[in-house]
Structure 1
Amino acid sequence: MDASSAFQDTLPLSSDALLAQLDEWGLSYRLHTHIPLRTVEDAKGVEGQFMVPGENTLRLKNLYLRDKKKRNYLVTLEQSREIDLKALGAELGIGNLSFGSADRLFQNLGIRPGAVSPLAMINGVENNVKFFMDEAAQQADVINMHPLVNDRTVVLVREDLMAFFDKIGCEVTWLP
């Protein structure tokens, strides 16, 4: 199975159910469908269709990480930001970090590789995943992210993304 919406019914929470929840909470978004995007490079090929002139848009890359104590982290960064996992672990005071496996990603965030997104914290909160986000998000008008599948992108205004985190009880730790 891949991370596209064709297999969303095999997820703990489907993309359709997530979008219905956003609607129920009154959080507005623009939904785009596209070819499956597995990497930042793939996303760069289609992101032009999501852009609105004059809108300060944050495009993301997301890392599912674990430390030696088997604690889980979702780190969301501006897509062009360079990252050194050793330095990040030291900066956060959590030691060495490594990428989590596909099985653990599914178990803890309820998604498959290629669909990693801050919206997966709807599952991650109950599994004690700690969430870190690039402070660049605090200046963005809108933020592009996958709604648990990689052939859709939602564009959320920053305030609605923060309201989403409040609704699910997700604490955001900002990365400078």
Structure 2
Amino acid sequence: MFYISEVKSTAPAAFQTTLQEMVYHVLQQFNVCYERVDTDEAITMEDCLLIDEKLNMQTVKTLFLCNRQQTDFYLLITTAGKPFKTKDLSSLLGISRLSFAPADLLEQMLGTKVGGASIFSVMLDKDNKVQVVLDEDAISSEWYGCNDGTSTSYMKLKTEWVVNEFLAFAHHKPKIIKL
């Protein structure tokens, strides 16, 4: 059975990663209200559906992508249930071919392992090598559901804050698209 804690509104007692610690520091700095749960490692869409039910929101899908040469990087945020086709996004962005970035680059550039990519990961992208790409559908609801840079802690916070304040704080201007 997949473990999900009771809903909490405080940071974890101990942080698993530097990124996770940064996330809660920024939330505190901006006085952002959030709800969160600790979980077993969430791997499947079914796991995320259970998390969504507990937090009464929908977790976004966050994908770390790159061009063939691995010189241009993209953090795509879309809805969890939306099928993803690289050729569709490549066309929208005017790029010949996109693919998933290697796991070692995900960890090196965004401080997370596979399954832990989050909008908050851009705080570690100080050189702005990663373009944030937001699907309109993923930012159309009141609540933004995501992980905190780990695959074992998920949160719900206001979408408006993420898009308008957090990304400006992280010095990342998003490209908004319709997938």
Q: Which amino acid aligns with 2:133?
A: F
Given that residues 39 and 114 in structure 1 are in contact (C-alpha distance below 8 angstroms), is that contact kept between their aligned partners in structure 2?
no
**Alpha carbon RMSD of aligned pairs, Å?**
1.9
Q: Deviations over 1:42-86 (max 9, x none)?
A: 2113321111xxxxx442111111102321111111011111102
Give the equivalent residue in structure 1 for 2:42. 37
> Are 1:173 and 2:175 matched, yes or no?
yes
Runs of 4+ in 1 over 6 A off after TM superposition: none
Matches within 5 A, 1:71-150: 71-150=72-151
Aligned counterparts of 2:38 and 2:46: Cα–Cα separation in 1:
17
Relative to the length of structure 1, the TM-score reads 0.84
The letter of the residue matching 1:63 is L
Residue 167 of structure 1 and its aligned partner are, at CA, apart by 1.0
Aligned CA distance change for structure 1 residues 45 and 138 (closer, same or farther; 3 Å) = closer
Distance 1:125 1:135 in 2: 25
TM-score for the superposition, normalised by structure 2: 0.83
The one-letter code of the counterpart of 1:101 is: P
SS in 1 for 2:127: helix
The count of residues paired between Structure 1 and Structure 2 equals 164
Classify the secondary structure of the residue corresponding to 1:62: strand
8 A Cα contact 1:131 1:172, kept in partner:
yes
SS at 2:149 equivalent:
coil
Please report how far the alpha carbon of residue 154 of structure 1 lies from its aligned counterpart in structure 2 after TM superposition.
Answer: 1.4
Distance 1:113 1:77 in 2: 17
* Aligned partners of 1:38 and 1:115 also within 8 Å: no
SS in 2 for 1:126: coil
**CA contact 1:58–1:136 (8 Å) conserved in 2:** no
Structure with the higher fraction of residues in helix conformation: 1
Q: Distance in 1 between matches of 2:41 and 2:20?
A: 14
- Counterpart amino acid of 2:136? E
8 A contact 1:40–1:61 mirrored in 2: no
Q: Residues 39 and 127 from structure 1, CA distance in 2 versus in 1: closer, same or farther, beyond 3 angstroms? A: farther
1:126 CA displacement = 2.9
Instruction: Give the letter aligned to residue 168 of structure 2.
Output: D
Residue identity matched to 1:170? H
Alpha-carbon distance in structure 1 between the residues aligned to 2:19 and 2:73: 22
